[in-house]
Amino acid sequence: MHNFTITELIDGLKKRVFSSEEITQHFLARIKNLDSEFNSVITLTEDQALESAKLADQLLAEGSASELCGVPVLHKDIFCTQGVRTSCGSKMLDNFVPPYDATVIENFRNNGAVMLGKTNMDEFAMGSSNETSFYGPVKNPWSTDSVPGGSSGGSAAAIAARLAPGATATDTGGSIRQPAALCGITGLKPTYGRVSRWGMIAFASSLDQGGPMARTAEDCALLLNCMASYDDKDSTCIDRPVPNYSVNLGDSLKGLRIGIPKEYFSEGLNAGTEQAVRDSLAEYEKLGAELVDISLPNTGLSVPAYYVIAPAEASANLSRFDGVRYGHRCEDPKDLEDLYRRTRAEGFGDEVQRRILIGTYCLSAGYYDAYYGKAQQVRQLIRQDFTQAFEKVDLIMGPTCPSPAFKFGAKGNDPVAMYLEDIYTISTNLAGLPGMSLPCGMVDNKPVGLQIIGNYFDEARMLNAAHQFQQVTDWHQLAPAGIES
C-alpha cells in the first residue's frame, strides 16, 4: 500500500478498494516502526489522523468527498497547526502550540486530507542539510550516513522512505528542490505569492514560499491544486485564478523551447550529475522539445546577494522571539536585558544566531546601502536575466544541485561551502519564479535531480514537462534498498 502514489490512492479510495482508515493505520505503523532510523517526523498526530480518516470514509461513502479526501499527508513543522506543536525545528518553539491553522493547513483540512504528523527540518528553515534541527539531523534513506538536504529534509526523507505519499514543504533558497533532488523525489516551489504564507513561520518574507513534495509530478499537481489559493490575510498573496494543474499533464511537448544556461554547467558541477542531466535533456529532445543555449550572466552573484537579503529579513522576523509572549523563556532573568540575551542564546542554534548577526549588521546604520541596498540591486539584475531568457524559451532546465548527497559533517564547519549547495536554486527565489526538481539519474547509488524553471505562474507547463519525462523514464519509481518491503 505504501508504494501507491497519491493518484493511485485516490483511485482506490473512490473504488472502495481500501478505506482511508486502513491507509492511515498503515502509514502510521510505518512511521512508528521505521522512522527511528531516519528521524524525519517530529510530531506524530495518531489520534487526530484516525479521527480524520473515519470522517473521510463517511464522506467517500456519501459521494461528497473532495479530491484529496482520505489521503494521508505530512506537513513541514513550519506550518502552524491548531492544537498541535509547531516547533520550526527549534528549541525556541519546542513548547509552542498554535491556536489556529495556517491557510495551507486549512486548505488541506477542507479537502479532507489526513494529517499524519509534522516533519523535521533545519531550524527556522536555515540550512541545506537538515543538520541544524534541535531534534537532531534527518538521515537520507538512500544512504543513512548522508544528508537528505534542507531545510525540508524531513518531508523529502519521509516520502523517499514511503512513510507518506506526499508532504508540504517550503522553499526560501532551494529548500524544496534541493532535498527533493538528494532524496530522489519530486518537489515544486510555486511562483512567489501563489501559495499563502499566512501561518507559515517566517524566515525571509520576500523569498519564502510553500509548495508540495511527492513521488511524481502528477501527485505534485494534485497537492498544488489544494495548496494554491488567494488569501487576503497574506498581503503578498496574488489575487489570481488558480488553474487545475492536473488538466494538461498529457499535452505534447512538441515545439517546447528549453533553455540551457551555460552557467549551470561550469566548474563545480559533479561529472556524474552533469551526465545524468544531459541524458535527461536528450530525452526531452526525443519528446519533441528544442534545446536552446542561453546565458544567465548574474547567476554567480545570486549566493552573495541571497546571503545578505535572507539574513537581513531573518533578523527582523526572528526579533519577535524574545521570551516575552510565547516560546522558550530563560529561567530567573535578572532584568529585561538578561531575559532577551539568555532566552535567545538558549533558544536559537548556531546557524540561526549566525544569520541573525549577519542580517543585523547588514541593516545597521552606515552599512545598509553598502550591503542590503546593493544586494537588492543585484536581485533586479538576476530578475532581468530571467526576463530576457524567457523571451527566447518556454522553460529553463539544468541540475538542481552540484552533486549527490554529501556525508554528515562534511560541510558543517564551512558555512560558505554549505551555502554554495544552493547555487542553482537561489536565483529563482530572488526572482520570485517557480521551480521544481524531479529525479533524473543515480550517481554513486544516490539520486540526482533535474531542475525545471518556469516563467511567472507557469507551474502547469512545468508539471506537464515533468510528467511527460516521467512517462518515459523510471527514476521516480526507484526506492532505497529495503524500503519497498
- Residues annotated as catalytic are 76, 151, 175
Burial class (CB in 10 A: 0-12, 13-18, 19+), 85: middle
Residue 276, C-alpha cell as written in the block: 545524468
How many angstroms from the chain centroid is the CA of residue 23?
24
Supply angle C-alpha 10, 69, 438, rounded to 5.
Answer: 55
Burial class (CB in 10 A: 0-12, 13-18, 19+), 243: middle
Strands of 72-76's sheet in order across:
41-44, 114-119, 72-76, 166-171, 209-214, 186-189, 435-443, 446-454, 395-399, 257-261, 290-294
**377: Cβ contacts below 8 Å, ≥ 6 apart:** none
Contact 152, 176 (CB under 8 A): yes
User: Which of 309, 339, 331 lies closest to 432 in space, CA to CA?
Assistant: 309
Instruction: Determine the Cα–Cα distance for residues 482 and 142; give it in Å rounded to an integer.
Output: 10
Give the E-state strand segments of 262-418 in sequence order. Answer: 290-294, 395-399
**110: Cβ contacts below 8 Å, ≥ 6 apart:** 66
What's 272-286 look like in SS3? HHHHHHHHHHHHHHH
**3-class SS at 311?**
helix
Q: 76: which DSSP letter?
A: E
**387: Cβ contacts below 8 Å, ≥ 6 apart:** none
**3-class SS at 425?**
coil
By residue count, the chain amounts to: 485
